[in-house]
Amino acid sequence: MLAFGERFPAHTRIVLGRNFRCRAEILEAAVACVAHNAQREPKALIANRGAGGEVRVVAHGTDRHEAQSVAAAISQALAQGIPASEVLVLGRTGYSLWPVQAALAQAGIPHRVLGSLGLYERSEVRDALAYLALLVNPADAQAFRRAVGSPRRGVGAATANRVVTLAREGHHGDLICASADAGRIDRIRSPAVRDRLTRFGQGLANVRSELRTGRSIGHVVVATAMLAGGLVQHYQWRRDTSPHAEQRRDAERVLEDLRSLCRAAQTYADQQPDSATLTGFLEQAAGLHARELTRGQPDRRITVSSVHRAKGTEAQLVVLLACEERLLPSWRALASPDGEQLAEERRVFYVACTRAKDRLILSYAATRGGRPTGGPSRFLSEAGLIDPPQALAA
């Protein structure tokens, strides 16, 4: 495009210089940053909606603090009347979005994740919810089949049907008691499978006893996740023993999802100290499940997305997470001798900022994933929003 005029001298140049989305404060910051790209056709951009916007940079100690702060800011914005559909949370990578998804779930803020699954859509979290559903309704055969198969215990469809039959004939339909009594099922030939079924049933029976004695919902959810032979134990084993790095990372991701579920249960209990029930928590989880929307009703979820997937979207309030060196711009762009990669990262930053119509919050943290970050992104100083870091200014 830059060489187009030289190749076609008789061309006519038409500048599309009006921005109809952003307030002037947002557009000016985004333009100031992208203007640092050398290979660029300079042009004046005008914010058609004029001034009146807000751009704010917020520093945090950790990514968890960042996520909690963002959830609180969004909760306040929603309380002030901003529609949920007008709130957009962006990150350069999915890695930077995980903590805020957990914080939104804990705060009870419904959200959708573009091109990805939200917390309550993820298979392993649905597995954990099946355990909890079985505690609430021990006759739920569907929940039983999902729970007893996660992780695999050697219980196939035929064995599961035998447990269901035993429950109906000898335990008034109680699948927890029938599982604990699996030793009575002669047609289960494998002693190992009978033993695993028995431990599954006894473990849930113990948690149910704690629930009946008045233990908190948070405690019950943690105890269920931590059952011997259960989900946490299985994924900890995979994390610690798998020879493949990708499998280890995936196991750690699942463990973090399960921690998020436990924290969400505790938050639910704290918010309703006198009326919290396990049934109520499951109903809340179902309500936050992004695929279970009521037809014909407006979408009351905020949107969480990577920057690339958010092209074409817009919102009154946009939060851009992890504005840090080595994330935005990426470490690959910083290490590359090709300056075009860094220029592309500036364009990514410009796209992210200009999703905002009225308010833009840019955040960064000192540590992310338990490791020090590269500090605030150079793009924040190039946009005129913070002072240049000494290392970059020199």
204-258 residue pLDDT tens: 999 999 999 999 999 999 999 999 999 999 999 999 999 988 899 889 989 988 9
Whether 294 shows a pLDDT value over 80: the answer reads no
Kindly state whether residues 63 and 143 are assigned to the same domain.
no
Q: Which of 288, 307, 329 is the last residue of a domain?
A: 288
**End-to-end C-alpha distance for the chain, whole angstroms:** 33
pLDDT computed for residue 40 by the predictor: 67
Whether 379 shows a pLDDT value over 70: the answer reads yes
Kindly state whether residues 187 and 145 are assigned to the same domain.
yes
Q: Which of 236, 253, 288 is the last residue of a domain?
A: 288
Give dist(CA 207, CA 218) in Å, integer: 12
Kindly state whether residues 157 and 241 are assigned to the same domain.
yes
Q: Which of 288, 316, 331 is the last residue of a domain?
A: 288
Q: How many domains does the chain have?
A: 2
Give dist(CA 348, CA 342) in Å, integer: 10
- The domain of 164 spans 120-288
Kindly state whether residues 140 and 264 are assigned to the same domain.
yes
Closest CA to 225 of 289, 151, 292, 162: 151
Give dist(CA 47, CA 138) in Å, integer: 60
Residue 105, domain member (yes or no): yes
- What is the mean pLDDT of the segment spanning 302-329? 91
Contacts 24+ apart (CB under 8 A), 133-137: 133/282, 134/175, 134/176, 134/204, 135/176, 135/204, 135/207, 135/208, 135/211, 135/220, 135/224, 135/278, 136/278, 136/279, 136/282
The pLDDT tens digits of the residues spanning 36-62 come to 987 666 677 888 889 999 999 999 999
Residue 1, domain member (yes or no): no
Kindly indicate the confidence band of residue 370, based on its pLDDT and cuts at 50, 70 and 90: confident
Give the DSSP per-residue string, 17-37.
-EESSS-HHHHHHHHHHHTT-
Q: What is the DSSP letter of 293?
A: P
Kindly state whether residues 227 and 129 are assigned to the same domain.
yes
Contact 196, 153 (CB under 8 A): yes
